[in-house]
Amino acid sequence: MDSSTLELHPLHRGAEADLFLSELPPWKAVVKRRVRKAYRHEELDAKIRKERTVKESSAIHEAKIAGARTPSILGLDLERSSIIMTFIDGKVARDAIDTMVDSRRLHLLEEIGRQVGLLHSAGIVHGDLTTSNIILPEDERPFIIDFGMASRSSEPEDRGTDLHLIQRSLIATHALDPTSSFRRVAKGYRESAGDKIAESSLRKAAEIARRGRYFAIR
């Protein structure tokens, strides 16, 4: 697909990619275009951006097949290292969680855990799981976005790192009780990932958290 034919409106400028709002009737669309890195050789840079575009789009597609809520891929423009996907209209979870009443927030945390469990049971790790990469539409059923650091892995260490990242995001960004909040995430995670994956992943997440505290003390 040639994204140069689309009308693009700047949405967000990032270090690795720029986001543009567009339309691909009947859908409202987002175009994610990886930016050129001047410090890299031009041919190498083009190769890296193309490979990462394919890898990210594959992760999003596989996550959706596994039942996770993600944007839908509408097309790729590898010439411009771009992914065209459906626009998820809603609030960033980071900006909404603290203003929710307790019952809605606890339900949301469980549902976030379920979504992560679906990823992990399909052998996908997100790599940057924070409340900034979760969108809440009007019905508050969370969508996970930005799979730019995603990879295929069934290693407990990698799954535990994902869980630790969301736990750290809840602690660092939100005025929540960290223990009860993450317990809700873990509950939803166990429901969708199953006991075997949940046990090994949650154990690793706790181990990673202890490592972080140890190095902080030192």
Please determine, for residue 218, whether its predicted confidence score (pLDDT) is greater than 50. no
d(CA 108, CA 46): 39
Q: Is the pTM of this model over 0.85?
A: yes
Summarised one tens digit per residue, pLDDT across range 108-136 is 999 999 999 999 999 999 999 999 999 99
pLDDT digits (tens, 9 = 90+) for 10-27: 999 988 999 999 999 999
172: tokens are 């660092």
pLDDT over threshold 90, residue 215 = no
Catalytic residues: 128
Nearest to 167 by CA among 192, 131, 136: 131
d(CA 218, CA 202): 25
Mean of per-residue pLDDT scores for the chain: 93
User: Domains in the chain and their CATH numbers?
Assistant: 3-86 (3.30.200.20), 91-217 (1.10.510.10)
3-state secondary structure at position 161: helix
Per the CB < 8 A criterion, the answer to whether 150 and 194 are in contact is no
Cα-Cα-Cα-Cα torsion 76, 159, 183, 210, nearest 10 degrees, comes to -130
Q: How far apart are CA 81 and CA 83, in angstroms?
A: 7
Identify the CA nearest to 11 among candidates 26, 33, 27: 33
Query: Is 192 within 8 Å of 117 (Cβ atoms)?
Result: yes
* Tokens of residue 84, six digits: 């065209």
| Cβ(50)–Cβ(63) below 8 Å | no
**What is the structure's pLDDT at 214?**
37
The whole-angstrom separation of Cα 15 and Cα 170 is: 23
